[in-house]
Amino acid sequence: MLSAPSTSLSTSELLSLYRKMVQIRRTEEQLARAHQSGAIPGACHTYVGEEAIATGVCANLRADDVIFSTHRGHGHALAKGVTPRAMMAELFGRVTGVSAGRGGSMHLFSPEVGLMGTSGVVGPSILLATGAAYTFKLLGTDRVSVAFFGDGAVNNGAFHEGVNMGAIWDLPVLYICENNQYATEVPFASVSKTTDVAERARAYGLPSYVVDGNDVLAVHAAAAEAVRRARAGEGPTFLECKTYRTRSHSEGMRDAGYRTAEEVEEWKNRSPITKLREYLISERLAPEEELARVEAEVEAEVDDARQFATSSPWPDPATVLDHVYSA
């Protein structure tokens, strides 16, 4: 497993990683409450517990780099630069949402900041990201493309076809597998004879590593090298980030019978946010008051986003046929 015991990041970079993870966590908690209250008409899969992965990867990307995400995509969207306002409004189905109310949680699009879509289908993010990388290479740019996907995607044909094509054509793409050990209620161990996805990926001939997905510094360091390689034309990299989702598969779904409360508790104690917080304090990189100030600012930002979403107008049904075609 790759680890990053020491880091070359500046204090302000570390603080911005911290701020982003807290922003994702607070937004998700707010969304979960909104879902319970009925303010979100559709599905809502939270990223609670997995914040380090999107945060660590996207901190290495430019605005013109692109990411392709999953059904569990709120963290990816925020990490790539979508605002809590625009995201929350989308889940509320409002015209001010990133997709103007056409998509909801699983169809968040913000090409302006490189979010090329969360997805209601497991698997395609791998192919789409590989394709964006193909264009980047064809047009001679140094832009980079990222596919996020869960352990549930890796038995799907899209994984095998996509990773292989990325490898044989040396495309500037990062394959980021978020192995949270379950696909809905199905343990990864029950659908794979091998423990590590990275082992499968390695068989396709690209550098593949297992990373502690609850350690934002480890993710950041691994992604930095992967992005460097991609920009330099050295081809794709595969990172399997081991992690855990500490809420139910999706809001409102039961979360029992397939995992133990002790297991969930143990992983809650391994929160990537707590881990970085303790590191910042113990290494005397940021005083407790400063972290508290960041937390308060994020809290206010997310409250404002909820207000914004609640008070935003619905889309106009007269526009329902717009954009089926480009012209």
Partner 1 sequence: MRELTFSTATREALTEEMERDPAVFVMGEGIGERGGNWGTTVGLFERFGPMRLRDTPIVERGFTGLCTGAALVGGRPVVDFMFLDFLLDGMGEIINQTAKLQYMSNGRLTMPIVFRGCIGVGHSAATHHSGNYYPMLAHVPGLRVVVPSSPYDAKGLLKTAIRSNDPVFFLEHKSVLGVKGQVPDDEYLIPFGEAAVVREGRDATVVAIGWMVHQTLKSCDELAKDGVSIEVIDPRTISPLDTDTMLASVKKTGRLLIVDEDYGPCSVGAEIAAQVTAKGFDDLDAPIMRINGAFTPVPYAPPLEAAVVPNPTSIALAIRDLLAE
The residues of the shown chain that bind ligand TPP, judged by CB under 6 A, are 71-72, 120-123, 150-153, 180, 182-184, 249
Estimate the share of the chain in helix, then strand, then coil, as percent rounded to the nearest 5. Answer: 45, 10, 45
What is the C-alpha to C-alpha distance for residues 250 and 42, in angstroms, rounded to an integer? 11
Q: In angstroms, give the least distance from the CB of 313 to partner 1.
A: 15
C-alpha–C-alpha distance, residues 197 and 257, integer Å: 25
Dihedral of CA atoms 76, 81, 87, 89 in degrees, nearest 10, equals 180
Question: Helix, strand or coil for residue 166?
Answer: helix
Burial of 45 (0-12, 13-18, 19+ CB in 10 A): buried
Which one of the spans 10-18, 27-35, 173-181, 217-225 is the region binding Mg ion (CB under 5 A)? 173-181
Choosing among Mg ion, ligand TPP, partner 1, none, which partner's interface includes residue 49 (Cβ < 5 to 8 Å by kind)? none
53 is written with which tokens? Answer: 């992965």
Using the minimum distance from each CB to ligand TPP, give the nearer residue, 258 or 314.
258
Nearer to Mg ion, 67 or 221 (CB): 67
Q: Under the criterion CB under 5 A, does residue 75 sit at the interface with Mg ion? A: no
Sole window of 178-186, 213-221, 228-236, 312-320 interacting with Mg ion (rule: CB under 5 A):
178-186
Q: Residue 232 or 296: which CB sits closer to partner 1?
A: 232
Segment lying near partner 1 (by CB under 8 A), choices 9-17, 132-140, 184-192, 195-203: 132-140
* CB-nearer residue toward partner 1: 49 or 104: 104
Residue 66's CB: how many other CB atoms inside 10 A?
26
| 123 counts as binding Mg ion under rule CB under 5 A | no
Q: For residues 129-165, b (16+ Cβ closer than 10 Å) or e, as one string?
A: bbbbbbebbeeeeebbbbbbbbbbbbbbebbbebbbb
Please identify, using beta-carbon distances, which residue of 116 and 183 lies nearer to ligand TPP. 183
Torsion on CA atoms 230, 98, 55, 232, rounded to nearest 10: 10
Interface residues toward partner 1, by CB under 8 A = 66, 68, 99-100, 102-103, 107, 109-112, 116-117, 120-121, 124, 126-139, 143, 145, 157-158, 161-162, 164-165, 168-169, 322-327
Interface residues toward Mg ion, by CB under 5 A = 150-151, 180, 183
